[in-house]
Structure 1
Amino acid sequence: MTAGKALTMVNPKNGNLAFKIFSFNDASNFDHIQRNNYYSMILVLSGKGKIKADFSMYDFDGSSLMSFAPYQPFMISSDSAFHGIVINFHPDFFCIHQHHKEVACHGVLFNNIYQPPFITLQPKDVDALCLLVEQMRTEMQNAGLAQYELLISYLKIFLINASRFRVDQTPAIQLDIAGAKEPFVLQSLKDAIEDNFKTKHSAGEYADMLNISAKALAKITRSHFNKTLTNMIAERIIIEAKRELYLTSKPVKAIAYELGFNDEFYFSRFFKNNADVSPQLYRETVGFARAEA
């Protein structure tokens, strides 16, 4: 894989980034907190280091694929040789929500509070993704008829492959959990969060629901998900809030109420504290009523 120059497409309507591919040879692009209003796929070809994402820290070593959603805070540090390729795309260019039936990457590659934001890749997986990157690069350098449609097709295939790689690794993740003493509690906790995050916002409520002490549940959560239960609940609420802000034109007050907040201003502070941007700015820079357009 040759280094190649950065290739960028800009949205002619607003001048914002639509689609970009570039290579890196060190961690200087990622050594500070990123809060981008577009998706970032980082294909690591070699190197090791640490990823700080949301509320957690993870180690990576070797070929891997990192996936970050708009405004998801992340930072990567590496003291060794570190190189790879980045694909950035704005939801205006490709909306994963609208293409969910074709490309089921929402909750698999992006916005999954139960798994790390990266997967380890086998050599054949790297080859498959690098081939797609080269096809995208060629198309961007030699624009022809239906360039947008062809790039979207390549990106879809890239995301489908990446989602398959993630799903293929899921049994190994489940096996780790199955070998633990608390597999039932972990699954029950996942189900409880999914069923109740709109109405129950405190860690204590989930401990009561599962008939386990708050201290024991906190220990299990930290051990298996690498984050606190409070952070997991907050992340799940924010993912749903972002989806509503992106896909609908509902007033922020209505979204707040649906998510269990009686005070719109408290919800806005909660959203900004966890997403590093206000609900209104998120809507303006990432999307607005796409599903209703």
Structure 2
Amino acid sequence: MDTDLGGFLRARRARLRPEDVGLTSFGGRRRVPGLRREELAQLAGVSAAYYTRLEQGQSGNASEAVLDALARALRLTEDEHAHLRNLARPRRAKRRPAERPEQVRPATRQLIEAMDGVPAVVLNRRRDVLAWNALGHALVAGHLDRGAPERPADRPNLQRMLFLDPHTRELYPDWATEARRAVASLRLAAGGHADDRRLAELTGELLLKSHEFAALWAKQSVANCTTGRKSFHHPVVGPLELDFETLQPADGTGHWLLLYSAVSGSADELGLRLLQGTLTAAQSVPAVTADR
């Protein structure tokens, strides 16, 4: 999996100019974009030789103080800083027993089913859909079988859908923003779980099948996208602007609850109610039986 420390450091160096960090640029054509290795080493207070070894993967014992200094020099965000630590100190791969399909705890399933009027989806770190309530399914994947998450082999994956499913692409009018957000989140997960075989397989599949994913992945952007706003163009109720929150239950499963809501009294709230109404109406239609 492409989560190497050197690639991340080079990408972060490239986005800074000497004048951005208070260094004097003497003009002339620079062979590389952004800061040179020597300039970054100077800012971080380490020798150029040591930094070069670190970027080339020849030094695997960077101290916390050095990583913090590099993070400050590169002006990393909190998420990028955490990613830097993960890459500099990768977890040792453990021998794992045969992996069993992940299951949602009954209490978690009960919780999302009780969320009337709130679209809810349960995800793992790969963004596999483990469960969703009726409104969550209708919002993000109404064209798919609602029972798909119950079958591990058929479970939808939000990352795969975003890049490879034309119905999902049409759902997001600002698809480019969704794509950037999705890739940054996936790279952060990959950096923290380099031994996750299925996560590596998902990344490899998307790199092969989507040139847009490959281009975004090469940028080395990372972000923990746990809250924000999303625009939808829903095929049933039209435009929606919804806030989203991701919550992680303290049960050790590593699962996430993705929840959507609309501003009270807004047209978006009305749109969610209309979508809920279509589900209620569909459930109330009696089954048609053949005459005997």
Q: TM-score range by the shorter chain?
A: under 0.3
TM-score by length of 1: 0.26
Higher percent of residues as strand? 1
Larger Rg: 2
Higher percent of residues as helix? 2
